[in-house]
Amino acid sequence: MAMHIALTFDDNFWAPAFATMRSVCLFTHRREELVFHLCHRTLTDEHKADLAAIADEFPVTLHWYDLDQSDMFRDIAARMPENKRLSNIVYARLMIDRLVGPEVERILYLDCDMLVRDDVAYLFDLDLEGNAIAAVRDTIGDIITGGKDLRGNADLFDMADYYFNAGMVMIDLRQWREADIIGRMENYLATGVMQRIYYDQDLLNLIFRGRWLKLPWRWNTIHARASHECFDPAILHYTGKSKPWSVVVGLFQAVAFARLYRHVMTNDLFYRYARHRWKRRWMKRLRLAR
């Protein structure tokens, strides 16, 4: 049975996307069943070749979706609220059902700031118990929805309801399609709701309230720190400011499994990505200084 996995990223995240993808391959015995759906934008030919090299090491299948060529994505990205830190690529996951073929019944979405260190076959063999998706409760969901004094958006969210993190979502595509996510988002934009909420993650929590299976925290260990290592997390999610692709972070082990992450990304790509990030940072400073 094919295990379909979707990643969304732009050219600035090509190396972390590779690390996430390679970690999936390394920690499963069912590698020949892996089908990666790579939803990308602004990707250079050089970096696309880096990603494609995964198929030289493992018997996986790759499908590419250039979002810059998608009229729907460009339209949505231009009109929806944008977070400068996250970029409008966050909306790409909402279109998963419209990108992949109708033969795909279940797909695992993964953010590209993740390291997988357990067999994702567990998630594909999981009984969703009639739910549309399976996910992990977000450790800061209360603050995201409640805001100051936990009163923000009280008309939209009930604090007693669990709130999931959308960085790892196992999706039943039939129910995802029936939910008409893009249509619901357009309605929320017209009524002013999208301008009030935390982008696509809040949107998905509104749409699938009461219709998601709560997974153990180890399948999306949010804000993964070194102290999490002793708890044997299955998926590390580096949501904090410290990232495992930082050379300094790697030296001081500020995040969980920093050294493992560097070797999963491969030493060559890790240091090439570090140079890429430094170049971008200095180019940005020079532009601001002019």
54 within 8 A of 25, measured Cβ to Cβ: yes
pTM reported for the whole predicted model: 0.94
Q: How many residues does the chain have?
A: 290
Three-class DSSP labels, 17-83: HHHHHHHHHHCCCCHHHEEEEEEEECCCHHHHHHHHCHHHHCCCEEEEEEHHHCHHHHHHHHHCCCC
Of 8-12, 105-109, 252-256, 272-276, least confident by mean pLDDT is 252-256
Position 285 scores a pLDDT of 63
Q: Which CATH superfamily is domain 3-244 in?
A: Spore Coat Polysaccharide Biosynthesis Protein SpsA; Chain A (3.90.550.10)
Position 206 scores a pLDDT of 96
Provide the residue ranges of all domains of the chain, joining segments of one domain with +: 3-244
Q: For residues 191 and 139, give the distance between their C-alpha atoms in angstroms, rounded to a whole number.
A: 29
Tokens at residue 211, please?
A: 């219709």
User: Could you report the per-residue pLDDT of 157-180, keeping only the tens digit for each?
Assistant: 999 999 999 999 999 999 999 999
Answer yes or no: is pLDDT of 54 > 80. Answer: yes
Q: Which residue has the tokens 């044997």?
A: 232
Task: Using alpha carbons, select from 212, 238, 206 the residue that is nearest to residue 225.
Answer: 238
